[in-house]
Structure 1
Amino acid sequence: MKKLQNVVIKGTKEGLTLHLNDSCSFEELKKELYWKLSENYRSQEGQQQITVKVQVGNRYLTDTQIEELKELITQTKNLVVDSVSSNVMTKEEVEQMKQEQKIVSVSSIVRSGQVVKVPGDLLLIGDVNPGGTVMAGGNIFVMGVLKGIAHAGCYGNTEAIIAASIMKPSQLRIGEFINRAPDHYTDQENREMECAYINENNQIMIDRLQVLIQLRPNLTRLERGW
């Protein structure tokens, strides 16, 4: 019978994918990984770096074990770990995901000095005054005038958007990207609702809300009505 490989290395256009067996011990896994990388990917002077994605299947890894794998892989110098993915999640991670997928509705005026922050999407029915701040792990929808600061995707989600009935922010943030307010605004009294999003050049753009149909087709979680 052919011995099951604990480490399978596959090349892709983006780099390498390491498929690690989830039924062997972690120590066995590390030994075979070290041996295969040493045999096939010895570092050479001037060699271009290769991006590595690690898939561990149904194995749960602690933060310490993840760091051990990363250190083992990057010992070859020319390998850079892009991600380590597992099919297994802790109860805490599941609960956090559930919180981040919730839509929190708030009916209020956010005044100067106030901060409203939610883990998921925020639906604010009211205005954000200058000096006020709204933050969300997901998207932000302001059914009113946005004159303060809005930070969507505050945990790193760059696919998040910010929408407002009247868009006059002092600052917009999506993920780590920041867009300062323009020096002046055009009269928006008869204009449509607007949205802010990150384009392919990692710039925050403001456009009509209708563009999201093409840009973020999975924005809504409701597929059909009655």
Structure 2
Amino acid sequence: MNQSLVVFKGVKGGLKVYINGDGDIEQIVEDLEKKIKGSRQFFGNSQINLIFTGKRLTLQEQQNIVDLISREIEVGSITFEMTNPDIPAADYFEFFDGIDEGMTRFVRGTVRNGQRIYYEGNVVVIGDVNPGGEIIAGGNILVMGTLRGVAHAGATGNHNAVVVAFSLQPTQLRIGGIIARPPEDESVKPSYPEIAYVKDNILVIEPYLPGKGK
């Protein structure tokens, strides 16, 4: 197959990556890896915001792509613009927009390595989320402890959702289709709660100040 499965196009604020739907995921990842490595000199040390479009990808396929790219270049935000009907039924919710109020699941105790929590509304963890633990919510995520695992709020595509934790140290943070990773050189962790939300299509993390709002 001579047709390129991955096409880069520079856009305002980042790089758009078109994925051809004709290839399987192994071919796509291989093509993407070659292009990323071949363009490393162009990217330099700057953080690059990436927007993926084209082939619909499962959550696991998106994760594999994020892991690959993060090993090769400095990544700012990663957005997947496609909807995702290919994900397993257990991972898919009807659209939920109860961001300010609505159904909420409370999880008491630590979310451990390998444990995955799914809920179509908001999720409140009264405890910690360990590395390898994962929270996926249609609404907001609140961790009344340390978040060291993966958090995906607004999983149905709602970018108004937020993630709040007493100590925000995630391995991956995602709101809607926008993904961000914490800086690897951030050795000193803040001693105050933080909130993550989407602003101008970028995932922002800042101190949580009650009463201030987003």
Structure 1 residues 161 and 203: CA distance shift in structure 2, 3 A: same
Shift of residue 185 of structure 1? 2.6
- Structure 2 unpaired stretches of 5+: 1-93
**TM-score, normalized by length of structure 2?**
0.51
Deviations along 1:16-65, one digit per CA (max 9) or x if unpaired, are xxxxxxxxxxxxxxxxxxxxxxxxxxxxxxxxxxxxxxxxxxxxxxxxxx
Shift of residue 136 of structure 1? 0.7
Q: Note if contact 1:168-1:185 (Cα within 8 Å) is conserved in structure 2.
A: no
Shift of residue 211 of structure 1? 7.4
For 1:173 and 1:186, locate their aligned partners in 2 and report how far apart those are by CA, in whole Å.
21
Structure 1 residues 203 and 180: CA distance shift in structure 2, 3 A: same
Deviations along 1:153-189, one digit per CA (max 9) or x if unpaired, are 0011100000001011000000000002210334336
Q: Secondary structure at the match of 2:206?
A: strand
Structure 1 residues 150 and 96: CA distance shift in structure 2, 3 A: closer
Aligned amino acid, residue 195 of structure 1: I
For 2:180 and 2:149, locate their aligned partners in 1 and report how far apart those are by CA, in whole Å.
13
For 2:210 and 2:199, locate their aligned partners in 1 and report how far apart those are by CA, in whole Å.
12
Aligned amino acid, residue 192 of structure 1: Y
Aligned amino acid, residue 196 of structure 1: A
Give every structure 1 segment of 4 or more consecutive aligned residues whose post-TM-superposition deviation is greater than 4 Å.
none
Which stretch shows the higher mean deviation, 177-186 or 103-112?
A: 177-186
Aligned amino acid, residue 151 of structure 1: H
Structure 1 residues 171 and 101: CA distance shift in structure 2, 3 A: same
After TM superposition, the structure 1 = structure 2 runs for residues 42-53 of structure 1, keeping only pairs within 5 Å, are: none
Shift of residue 205 of structure 1? 0.9
Q: Secondary structure at the match of 1:109?
A: coil
What is the total number of aligned residue pairs between the two structures?
119
Structure 1 residues 212 and 163: CA distance shift in structure 2, 3 A: farther
**2:133 aligned with 1:110, yes or no?**
no
Q: Look up the match of 1:150.
A: 151
Q: Note if contact 2:143-2:165 (Cα within 8 Å) is conserved in structure 1.
A: yes
Shift of residue 113 of structure 1? 1.0
Q: Look up the match of 1:72.
A: none
After TM superposition, the structure 1 = structure 2 runs for residues 1-226 of structure 1, keeping only pairs within 5 Å, are: 101-188=102-189, 191-200=191-200, 202-210=201-209, 213-215=212-214
Q: Secondary structure at the match of 1:210?
A: coil
Structure 1 residues 108 and 183: CA distance shift in structure 2, 3 A: same
For 1:206 and 1:113, locate their aligned partners in 2 and report how far apart those are by CA, in whole Å.
26
For 1:167 and 1:96, locate their aligned partners in 2 and report how far apart those are by CA, in whole Å.
24
**TM-score, normalized by length of structure 1?**
0.48
For 1:152 and 1:102, locate their aligned partners in 2 and report how far apart those are by CA, in whole Å.
14
Structure 1 residues 179 and 188: CA distance shift in structure 2, 3 A: same
Q: Note if contact 2:97-2:139 (Cα within 8 Å) is conserved in structure 1.
A: no
Aligned amino acid, residue 117 of structure 2: V
- Structure 1 unpaired stretches of 5+: 1-92, 216-226
- Alpha-carbon RMSD across the aligned residues, in angstroms, is 2.6
For 1:179 and 1:110, locate their aligned partners in 2 and report how far apart those are by CA, in whole Å.
21
Q: Note if contact 1:118-1:135 (Cα within 8 Å) is conserved in structure 2.
A: yes
For 1:214 and 1:141, locate their aligned partners in 2 and report how far apart those are by CA, in whole Å.
15
Structure 1 residues 210 and 186: CA distance shift in structure 2, 3 A: farther
